[in-house]
Structure 1
C-alpha cells in the first residue's frame, strides 16, 4: 500500500482543529506533515516547509479567516498551486472550518465542509469524503458493536499498549548496549590499525591504510597488540551482554506480535489493518535479528559472524519497531475511542 503524504497548510491560530485532523488522518495510515511536530530545533523552517510540499501527495488547505489573512499560508498555497499545475490532477484539497469568503485562487474547487463540531467523528460524512479524496479505504464500520465485541476490542487494545510499552523499554536498553558495542569495536579497530601502521593520527592512518606500497611499521608488535586488544574486547563484549536475558527479550517481542495478529481480525479500517499487519511483520524481522545476535559472545564470533553488520541490522530494525509501535498506539487509541463512542451514541 502506497503511503499518502499530506501537508497540512494552516494558520497557527487554527492549531486546535488541525491537531484533531492530524490525529484522524494518522489513524487511517496517512503520513501527515505538521510543522510543530516535524520541524526540528535548528532546522531551516522555509526549506523544511518547501521540501515537505515537494514530497506531499496532497495538500490539505485549511480555510478560515486566520488562514486567508496569513502571509505564510498564502506562500504555501502559491507553491502548492505551482506544484499542482506541474503534476496535473488534484493536489490541493480545501477544508472549510468556518464561514468565510472563499479565496479566488481556489474558488472553483469543491471544499470539504468541516464547520460542525462533529465533523471529525469517524462516521462523519466530511471525514469520509476527505478520506475518499485521499484514496483511503475506510472499510465498513459495524452499525452496532455488541458489548462482547466492544470488550474484545478494548481488551486487545489495552494489552497492545501495555505490552508495547514494556517491549519498547527492553529494546531501548538493548539499543544502548548495541551502540556501546559498536563504539567499542570501532575503537578496537582503531587501536589495531594504530599499532599496525605506526601512527595515532586518524587522517594519516587513513592515508597509510590505502597506500599499500608503504606497508606497515612493525608486524610483530601489531600481532602482539592484537592479542592484548582482543582480550580486552572479549571482556567488554561479555560485560555488555552478560545481563541480557535473551529468552525474556524474545518473549516480550513475541507477545506483542501475537496481540497484533489478533488485532488484525478486529473491525479496523482497511488502511489500519494493513498497518497492523506491517507492524506484525516488522516484529517478525526483529525476532530473526535477535536470534542472530544471540550467537555473538566473543571477539571470534563477532568477526566470524559479521557481528558489526548484525548489530547494524538489529539497531535499524529496533528504530523502525520503536517508531511503528508508538505510531500504532497513537492511531489505535484514536480509532478505538471514536468507534466505541460512535456505537454508544447510536
Structure 2
C-alpha cells in the first residue's frame, strides 16, 4: 500500500451498484484499493462501525449522486463521515462528488456536500477522469507486469 492509503471509499445507492462496481474494477486495475460495502464488510460486522472504518482507512470518498441517491439513513452518515475525515486529514483526503443524470432526472447534491466543488460528467469515462484528477494521490512510476 505504500506510505499513503490507496483506499477510496465509494458511496452510492444500492440501485447504482452495477455502475459503481465498474468504477471499482477500473480503480483496482490502476493499483487503488476501492472500498465497496459488499466486499469490504463481512457477515456480522456492525454496519455503522464498518462504514466509519472504511472512511478512516481512505484518502478519498467518491459520492455517486444519481436520481436514486438520497441524503438519508446510511448515505447521510457517509456524508457526515466524509466531512469529518476531510477536517482531520485536510489535503490528504478528498471529497469527490459526481452528479449523474438519467434522462431528464438528475441527482441532487446533499446540502452538506455543496460546500465542495462537484462535477456533472456526461459519460462514465468523463466521471472516471474527474475522479482520478480529484483524489489526493496518484499511482507510482510505471513498472513491467
* TM-score bracket relative to the smaller structure: 0.7 to 0.9
Q: Cα distance, 1:275 vs. partner?
A: 8.4
1:122-201 matches, cutoff 5 A: 125-134=126-135, 135-136=137-138
1:45-84 matches, cutoff 5 A: 45-84=47-86
Other structure's SS at 1:29 match: coil
Other structure's SS at 2:69 match: helix
More helix by share: 1
Question: What CA RMSD, in Å, does the superposition of the two structures yield over aligned residues?
Answer: 2.3
Q: Would you say 1:105 and 2:107 are equivalent positions?
A: no
Partner of 1:316: none
**Number of residue pairs the alignment of both structures matches:** 137
Does the 8 Å contact 1:8/1:18 carry over to 2? yes
Q: Which has the higher contact order (CA 8 A, sep 6+)?
A: 2
Q: Cα distance, 1:48 vs. partner?
A: 1.2
CA distance in 1, matches of 2:53, 2:130: 27
Does the 8 Å contact 2:8/2:59 carry over to 1? yes
Does the 8 Å contact 2:79/2:113 carry over to 1? no
Partner of 1:22: 24
Q: Cα distance, 1:13 vs. partner?
A: 1.4
Q: Which has the larger radius of gyration?
A: 1
Unaligned 5+ segments in structure 2 are: none
Distance change (3 Å), C-alpha of 1:9 and 1:101: closer
Give TM-score, length-normalised by structure 2.
Answer: 0.80
Give TM-score, length-normalised by structure 1.
Answer: 0.36
More strand by share: 2
Other structure's SS at 1:101 match: coil
CA distance in 2, matches of 1:275, 1:88: 34
Does the 8 Å contact 1:29/1:275 carry over to 2? no
Structure 1, residues 191-226: CA drift from partner, whole Å, max 9, x if none? xxxxxxxxxxxxxxxxxxxxxxxxxxxxxxxxxxxx
Q: Would you say 1:42 and 2:44 are equivalent positions?
A: yes
CA distance in 2, matches of 1:86, 1:68: 25
CA distance in 1, matches of 2:19, 2:143: 27
